[in-house]
Amino acid sequence: MRGPVDALSFRRFEPGTSRMIQNHFGIDEPAPGPGTDIPPRLLDLVLVPMVGFDQQGNRVGMGKGYYDRTFAGHARWWHRPLLVGLAHGLQQMKIDPRPWDVAMDYIATDSTLTATGSRR
């Protein structure tokens, strides 16, 4: 990640060859360098953690908005990743989505995979 107000960044990872650095959480991640950054619009699939969700693909995250900022406007991209939210079924809840919220295309839980209808 870049910073607290930025969107997410994605980098190439090749086991055994990618140089790794520790992020501010102490977790290893690929180091920045020439040819390592991947624009979000070129990804095919993004697995998105969720604190809560509804059947329309709306999600509650950790409240920082990283995924919403990263994929804002993705419906207009010429290629866009499939957004799959991951949660346990018991995390389903009623959500009042905000205009800036980005809905998931699918919700995957411990027992189901649901197409939300948000991918048009």
Three-state secondary-structure class, residue 108: strand
- Whether 106 and 86 share a structural domain: yes
For 65, the 3-state DSSP assignment is coil
Q: Which pLDDT tens digit goes with each residue over 27-78? A: 999 999 998 999 999 999 999 999 999 999 999 998 888 999 999 888 788 8
- The confidence band for 3, taking pLDDT boundaries of 50, 70 and 90, is very low
CB 71 within 8 A of CB 77: no
**Nearest-angstrom CA–CA distance, 59 and 38:** 24
d(CA 40, CA 43): 5
13 and 48 Cβ atoms separated by less than 8 Å: no
- 8 and 60 assigned to the same domain: no
Question: Does residue 54 carry a catalytic annotation?
Answer: no
Do 50 and 93 sit in the same domain of this protein? yes
Q: How many Å apart are CA 82 and CA 7, to the nearest integer?
A: 18
Residue 4's pLDDT is what?
45
Confidence (pTM): 0.84
**7/21 same-domain check:** yes
Please state, in angstroms and as integers, the Cα–Cα distance from residue 71 to each residue in 6, 12, 74, 100, 106, following that order: 12, 19, 5, 10, 15
Counted domains in the chain: 2
Per-residue pLDDT tens digits for 76-100: 888 889 999 999 999 999 999 999 8
CATH number at residue 119: 3.40.50.10420
Tell me, yes or no, if 120 is annotated catalytic: no
Q: Choose the catalytic residue: 11, 68, 69, 119.
A: 68
Could you tell me the residue range of the domain that residue 33 belongs to? 1-38
Model pLDDT, residue 37: 94
Cα 7-100-54 angle, rounded to 5 deg: 105
Does 16 share its domain with 73?
no
Is there a catalytic annotation at residue 59?
yes
- Asked if 86 contacts 64 with a C-beta cutoff of 8 angstroms, the reply is no
Residues 31 and 43 reside in one and the same domain: no
> Do both 28 and 73 map to the same domain?
no
Q: Is the pLDDT of residue 9 over 60?
A: yes
Catalytic residue among 101, 105, 110, 119: 101
Same domain, 87 and 64: yes
